[in-house]
Amino acid sequence: MRVLTEQQWHWYYWGKYLGYPSCCIDFFVENAGKDWWMDKIYPKGFKFKGSGFIPCKSCNKLPEEQIIKRINYRRKAPVPFPQEIDFEIEEAKMEEMLFKGELK
Ligand SMILES: [Zn+2]
């Protein structure tokens, strides 16, 4: 089993808090930090660019409305995707949920 770094856990829990699909979180955690990955995997760009969410390869092929629905169904943050959250305010809430074991 692979051990995640602290940075990777950070991404993982933010992904959960923001309601991102598990496949996309895993994909991001696996690849982020490799400086070449974006251009190589998404030569034509990807959906929701600039939102902070990067879909995995298969989710990137889904209709946008379907992805938005999936994300908002699981989302813990108070504003619906793809609206931006205030990370400074949300971080405390995210950490509290994490501490209580509510972030799954
Ligand atoms: Zn996905």
Any domain includes 1: no
Q: What is the token pair recorded at 102?
A: 């509510």
pTM above 0.85? yes
Distance 32 CA to ligand 1 centre (A): 14
Any domain includes 68: yes
Any domain includes 10: yes
User: Domain range for residue 28?
Assistant: 6-100
Any domain includes 17: yes
Residue 19 in contact with residue 73, Cβ under 8 Å?
A: yes
Any domain includes 94: yes
pLDDT digit string, tens, across residues 8-59: 999 999 999 999 999 999 999 999 878 777 888 888 889 999 899 999 999 9
As residues whose CB is below 5 A from the ion ligand 1, the structure lists 21, 23-24, 56, 59
Distance 10 CA to ligand 1 centre (A): 18
Number of domains in the chain: 1
User: How much is the pLDDT for 1?
Assistant: 58
Any domain includes 63: yes
CA angle, corner 52, sides to 47 and 58, nearest 5? 40
Any domain includes 21: yes
Distance 23 CA to ligand 1 centre (A): 4
